[in-house]
Amino acid sequence: MLRVEGLPRVDERLLAGPTAVTVGVFDGMHRGHQALIARLCSVAQQRQASTVVLTFRTHPDAYLRGTAPAPLMSLDNRLEGLERAGVDACFVLDFDRSLMEMSAARFYDEVLIGGLGCVALVFGYDAAICRQREGTVERFRELGLDAERIDRLVVDGRAVSASAIREALGQGDLATATTMLGRPYSLRGLVVHGAARGRRIGFRTANVVVPDLCLPASGVYAVRATARDRGLDGADAVVNLGTRPTFGASEQSLEVHVLDRDDLDLYGVELQVDFLARIRAEQKFASEAALTRQIQEDVATARTWLARA
């Protein structure tokens, strides 16, 4: 997939031939996004065009409101998801005043037509761009473009959206998050040295640098772990996500115990963790021995759950 930083320029068209275009953050690449990209690919095939996504490095709310929701995935992971979905080229934009104040007519002339040779535009059900959100499907049709919007995707009576997934994760509701994502929620982080408490009590853990993402509620989870260059590809594991109150810690931590693989050396590698089920909330124990007994129960519960997954 071609990745370009910034808007296409009128005098430097990077893609030969016509294009079908969509615009959005695509945080999470959830089922709604997947439906949108599938429709984009279908339209592009009908028009013998390339598929192009205009996306944003960070959520526009960071500029518009001074704060933005915690992302569900990193930019690199978003782009990987778009590429897997069949997108030919992605333009990564920094949302700023020039974009905020651009009229729909200028966006049409300079970006869609002049920069991309756009012949079709596909929007999400609630999408609008440009100055004062005047860049709607109806406005681009007025300007002469073949433009359409997809219907919203509804699960259990609620529209699939990044905000709904964040809410579910915050409540530890992995079932809803998984259904809306179309896959387990996952994150990646670098494995670093920790305090070695897990090894001392018989449960060696990989201490993962907590990424700056929207995280599930604190607790213990049954997960699958992947680090292919170390021979792990969806290995059964248990995660503790939280502040480790039994040891008086306060910083968020992510500790991964890969079942039956105490021989593994994961230091310095990026570990992917796919969250499958929440076993329990995080809690403070009266002693290290009490914590050890609970971990034994957690591992047994995780084994049972993962054997059925």
Arithmetic mean of pLDDT, 6-18: 81
Helix/strand/coil for 71? coil
245: pLDDT confidence band, cut at 50, 70 and 90? low
pLDDT of residue 287: 74
Least confident of 6-20, 115-129, 145-159, 179-193: 6-20
pLDDT of residue 198: 54
Q: Which residues are 123's β-sheet partners?
A: 149
pLDDT of residue 181: 97
pLDDT of residue 250: 57
pLDDT of residue 5: 94
Q: Is 96 exposed, middle or buried (0-12, 13-18, 19+ CB in 10 A)?
A: exposed
pLDDT at 233 over 60: yes
Least confident of 33-42, 182-191, 233-242, 279-288: 279-288
Arithmetic mean of pLDDT, 219-248: 88
Helix/strand/coil for 115? coil
Arithmetic mean of pLDDT, 49-78: 94
β 219-227/270-281 pair status:
antiparallel
- Residue 244 has which token pair? 């480790």
What pTM, to 2 d.p., does this model score?
Answer: 0.92
> In percent, how much of the chain has pLDDT > 70?
94
149: pLDDT confidence band, cut at 50, 70 and 90? very high
Question: When comparing pLDDT for 7 and 136, which is higher?
Answer: 136
The sheet with strand 19-23 has its strands ordered as 2-5, 89-93, 50-56, 19-23, 118-123, 146-149
> Tokens 């333009």 sit at which residue?
91
pLDDT of residue 30: 97
Arithmetic mean of pLDDT, 85-112: 95
Side-chain half-sphere exposure of 11, counting CA atoms within 13 A:
0
Amino acid identity, position 297 = E
pLDDT at 263 over 90: no
Task: Tell me 108's DSSP state.
Answer: I
Q: Which residues are 214's β-sheet partners?
A: none
Give CA 219 to chain center in angstroms: 20
- C-alpha 270/C-alpha 272 separation (Å) is 7
